[in-house]
Amino acid sequence: MAGRIKSLLHRWSSRVFSVELDGAPFYFAIQERHRGEEAPRVFRKLQSHDRCYTLLVCSRDRIKTARFYGELKDKLLRELPPECGLSPMSSFLPNVRDSLIKGYFLKDTSEGSSTVERLLSDLTQHEPVSVCSYCKNDDGQQWTQHLWSHGESQVMETAKKYYVVPSETPEYHPSTLNMINSDVFYSLDEACEVLKKCGDIIPEAMSVLELLPSRAEARNKPDFPVIVIEGLDATGKTTLTESLRETLGASLLRSPPQCLSPWRARFDQEPPLIRRAFYALGNYITAEQIGQEGKKTPVIVDRFWHSTAAYAIATAVSGPVCNLPGEGSEVYCWPSDLLQPSLVVLLTLDPEERKRRLRNRGQGKTNEEQELDHNQLFRLRVEEAYRRISGPACVSVDASPSADEVLQQVLLLIRGKCHL
Ligand SMILES: Nc1ncnc2c1ncn2[C@@H]1O[C@H](COP(=O)(O)OP(=O)(O)O)[C@@H](O)[C@H]1O
Ligand SMILES: Nc1ccn([C@@H]2O[C@H](COP(=O)(O)OP(=O)(O)O)[C@@H](O)[C@H]2O)c(=O)n1
């Protein structure tokens, strides 16, 4: 464990650290010699008696890392004195894929440091956490970083100290570096691998794997058109998909499929790596059902891979739309082993009208759906991610007219594209 952390962090001075304070990221790096640069903004805001720490979570086992990252936050919030402020942070090699390590930035303004230091030293010894402490130099301008390492029985600060300096905003938002096969999965095998590895800690994972199609079945090409309806919650997907089923005499399916319902709440509690693998597998199960139904009738699908990928991408990245991976990025490419629909329609709706429909419907929502209401940047990121996905890309339809007008509009699209 300690070896892994050391090898990942060995290039300390090439790494950039990002601390998220009040929704804005601050970047800093470290260097061995003091070259007269002033402290980065995240430190300039602090008093000289404030103590700061970075905690980076990393182990060889990525399932363990993902789960422990969430557990660590709960533990810190529970055990730290109330004067401590906790913010998400990360460390990465700029523009290097899979180099991101996530953690927390801790600001301690409490009177005595002993509680915090005891807690952190305990973490360093027993958990996959690497701790650095930061202090202000005597000149009152510079901050230095000390990496904690554990000796025989107690945690020591290593002799080497590094100076903290500002760093430029990287070209790629750090959260995009580890997105492929951690937030978004591009093959059945990659998603299966995550659930297989969870089998001993989440027994439900094995039940999900048992429902998976064999590869040959998943590749069955349907004879009839397959039309996917996408959109945020309450944009009218259920209303439209049911009308389409009646009008076209089609089969109606959804992703995640009905057979996964007993386990959905269980996987919704898990960290993104596991939760997204679960939803990814749901698409492959739905694809198999599409293959079966599509031999007999046209198939309408309520949410599919666009939803899985768009929510995953928009959650992994924070801040404005410009933090998303750029248009044309491989992140938006359809998985090569997943059935491609004939048409994907994205229902779009003015946020106020969507809220009105949500209120009228008055049902429970997933945490992510509640987030859509509270966080308008998140909503914008989901919508933009939907639009950037390609192979097939979605066709946007304004869902604000009456249900019948929306139906007619979508029927026109289907007839134009699918010769129905
Ligand atoms: N075109 C429409 N105009 C007005 N209200 C609509 C329209 N389509 C759906 N609704 C209403 O809005 C609410 C959300 O629609 P629903 O089909 O459940 O959305 P979704 O499945 O996308 O969450 C429902 O109460 C529904 O009756
Ligand atoms: N194919 C799908 C469908 C949903 N989801 C996830 O499920 C949530 C929305 O599903 P939902 O069932 O509440 O949405 P509605 O269809 O009820 O509007 C989103 O937060 C997505 O993260 C997914 O990842 N992939």
pLDDT (tens digit per residue) in 203-229? 999 999 999 987 655 566 899 999 999
Ranges under pLDDT 50 in the chain = 1-2, 4, 152-153
360 C-alpha vs ligand 1 centroid, how far in Å?
Answer: 9
Q: Could you identify the atom of ligand 1 that is nearest to the CA of residue 400?
A: 1
Amino acid 1: pLDDT:
44
Tokens coding 191: 């998603």
SS3 166: strand
Place of tokens 């599919």: 304
Ligand 2: residue whose CA is nearest its atom 15: 233
- Which residues partner with 107 through β-bridges? 52, 85
pLDDT tens-digit readout, 277-286: 999 999 999 9
Rg (CA), the chain: 24
233 C-alpha vs ligand 2 centroid, how far in Å?
Answer: 8
Is the peptide bond prior to 392 cis by the omega test (within 30 degrees of 0)?
yes
Ligand closest to 240 (CA) is 1
CATH 3.40.50.300 in the chain is located at 179-418
Ligand 2: residue whose CA is nearest its atom 18: 233
Tokens coding 272: 């993104």
* Paired sense of beta strands 24-31 and 155-166, if any: antiparallel
Amino acid 364: pLDDT:
61
Give the integer Cα–Cα distance in Å for 27 and 305: 33
Residue 303 DSSP label: S
* Paired sense of beta strands 226-231 and 299-302, if any: parallel
Quote the Cα angle for 29-87-309, to 5°. 90
Amino acid 408: pLDDT:
98
Pocket test for ligand 2, best of 259, 283, 369, 381 (most atoms within 8 A of CB): 369
- Which residues partner with 52 through β-bridges? 107, 134
Going through 109-184 in order, the beta strands assigned E by DSSP cover 129-136, 143-150, 155-166
Tokens coding 120: 């952190």
Q: Could you identify the atom of ligand 2 that is nearest to the CA of residue 306?
A: 1
Ligand 1: residue whose CA is nearest its atom 8: 236
**CATH for 179-418, among 2.102.10.10, 3.40.50.300, 1.10.300.10, 3.40.50.2300?**
3.40.50.300
Amino acid 153: pLDDT:
45
Tokens coding 84: 């401590």
Find out whether the beta carbon of 368 lies less than 6 Å from any atom of ligand 2.
yes
